[in-house]
Amino acid sequence: MATDRVAQLRKGVLELAILGLLRAHESYGGEIVAALAARPGLDASAGTVYPLLSRLKTSGLVDTRWAESTAGPPRKYYQLSAAGHAALTDGTQAWRGLVHALDSLLEVSE
Amino acid sequence: MRSFEDQVAAALEDLPADVRTAALDDLRAALLDGATEADLGSPAEYASHVLDAFARSTDPADSEGDVFGVPFETRGPTDAAVRSRIWAPTDPRIFVPRMFGLGWTVNLGAVAVRLGLLRPDDWDDESLDFLDPRLLTALRYAPLAWAAAAAVIGIHTWRRGLPIPTRVDRDGHPEQWSKPSAALVPVAIAAGFAVWGSRPTNGDDRMIRPALGAAGAGLGCAVATIAARSVGHPERVASGNALLAAAAAILPAHVGLPVGVALHTRRKR
């Protein structure tokens, strides 16, 4: 059950994590999956990440482009749109506020 | 054998076209990036992730927009989440934005709660799983039975070759007549609802979609019956109101029956 709770928590913040990854530069899906996998607690399967990318695209938070690859088939690159940058700023503030409040609560209850 | 992409596409058939296109485009990107079924899960699991991602992006209780305060909606025929408005016991609103067109419809779940037939938390995602699969199958094909009845009645009326009274005055005298082929119009409407209503689906939509299909096909059957009774007897057009009222009861009956049986079965276990 604890694993389920962690999975639900992680799922909720994955979108923000993807927006954060795309802040610095555009990436293709495989890169995003690998970058998340390199961060303990945020690793997610391709089966979870690509649907989230679809949702971010239809929500207008990311823009996409197909580009030829030197090492194989073409790749779809994802980059933050203006709305995505704004959502990242809002999400970051909300996340920090939440973490601060929750940390205080958990410290008191320990 | 169908490809991974084809299987996912079939499972996402109910999504709005733009969302489905975006999801399939990203699936193609994933496959080109080298993702395998081990990374993506089975087609059903991948489709489930897509549905889950998009389920959290919109509230199905909210209409697509409004015109001078009156809600409008176009997604009902293709979006199960929008259709779920007619059976939403946890939503206290009796009147909710209708599934297609302008205006409101009745949330039968809220009505059942107000009548004290169930509590909002009595119904959840698993409730319908307590239903006998044979009953679910019967519900799924009920719209086809209504359409078949409409076809028998409508084709019989058409073959009689007599004009059909389509409007009468207060004294029952016909004011307007239509050609015999007009008897086939309600047949076509019933057939359309029947084909749509018996399509495979999942979750509570296994009850809601066929119920809506049966309501539409049943209405077509009622109109076909009114036309059949009125040929040669125009005074009977007015008495067709009782048949239309009976047709309006099809939807609550098609929802009430499975809900009642599922809750009863669950409480017994």
A30-86: pLDDT as tens digits: 999 999 999 988 888 999 999 999 989 988 899 999 998 887 889 999 999 999 999
> How confident is the prediction for chain B on average, in pLDDT?
89
Cβ within 8 Å, pair B35-A46: yes
Nearest neighbour of A51 by CB, restricted to B18, B23, B35: B23
Residues of A in contact with B34 (CB under 8 A): 30, 72
Q: Which residue has better confidence, B66 or B100?
A: B100
CA dist., res. B50 & res. B55, Å (int): 8
Cβ within 8 Å, pair B18-A74: no
Residues of A in contact with B40 (CB under 8 A): 45-47, 50
- pLDDT at residue B190, rounded to an integer: 96
Q: Can you tell me the mean pLDDT for B231-253?
A: 86
User: pLDDT band at residue B72, thresholds of 50, 70 and 90?
Assistant: confident
- pLDDT at residue A1, rounded to an integer: 42
Cβ within 8 Å, pair B26-A45: no
- pLDDT at residue B148, rounded to an integer: 97
Cβ within 8 Å, pair A51-B34: no
- pLDDT at residue A6, rounded to an integer: 63
Instruction: Determine contact, residues A53/B22, Cβ cutoff 8 Å.
Output: no
User: pLDDT band at residue B32, thresholds of 50, 70 and 90?
Assistant: very high
CATH number at residue A52: 1.10.10.10
Q: Which residue has better confidence, B19 or B225?
A: B225
Residues contacting residue B142 through CB under 8 Å, at least 6 positions apart: B197, B210, B213, B214, B254
- Identify the bridge partners of residue A80 per DSSP, sorted by sequence position: A62
Nearest neighbour of B53 by CB, restricted to A29, A45, A51: A51
CA dist., res. A44 & res. A11, Å (int): 9
Q: Can you tell me the mean pLDDT for A12-38?
A: 93
Q: Which residue has better confidence, A28 or B269?
A: A28
Joined together, the tokens standing for residue B223 give 């109109």
Residues of B in contact with A28 (CB under 8 A): 29, 33
- pLDDT at residue A23, rounded to an integer: 94
Interface of A with B in 18-57 (CB under 8 A): 28-30, 33, 45-48, 50-55, 57
- pLDDT at residue A110, rounded to an integer: 61
Joined together, the tokens standing for residue B2 give 């169908």
Amino acid at A83: A
State how far residue A57 is from chain B, nearest Cα, in angstroms: 8
User: pLDDT band at residue B241, thresholds of 50, 70 and 90?
Assistant: confident
pLDDT at residue B31 is higher than 50: yes
The angle that helices B133-160 and B185-197 make with each other, rounded to 10 degrees, is: 170
Residues of B in contact with A33 (CB under 8 A): 35, 39
Q: Can you tell me the mean pLDDT for B47-67?
A: 75
Q: Can you tell me the mean pLDDT for B220-226?
A: 94
pLDDT at residue B180 is higher than 70: yes
CA-to-CA dists, residue B182 to A28, B173, B216, angstroms: 57, 19, 18
- pLDDT at residue B195, rounded to an integer: 96
- pLDDT at residue B196, rounded to an integer: 95
Cβ-based burial of B241 (10 A; exposed 0-12, middle 13-18, buried ≥19): exposed
What's the predicted TM-score (pTM) here? 0.61
Least confident of B21-30, B131-140, B231-240: B231-240
What's the structural domain count of chain A? Answer: 1
Q: If you measure CA to CA, which chain B residue comes closest to A29?
A: B30
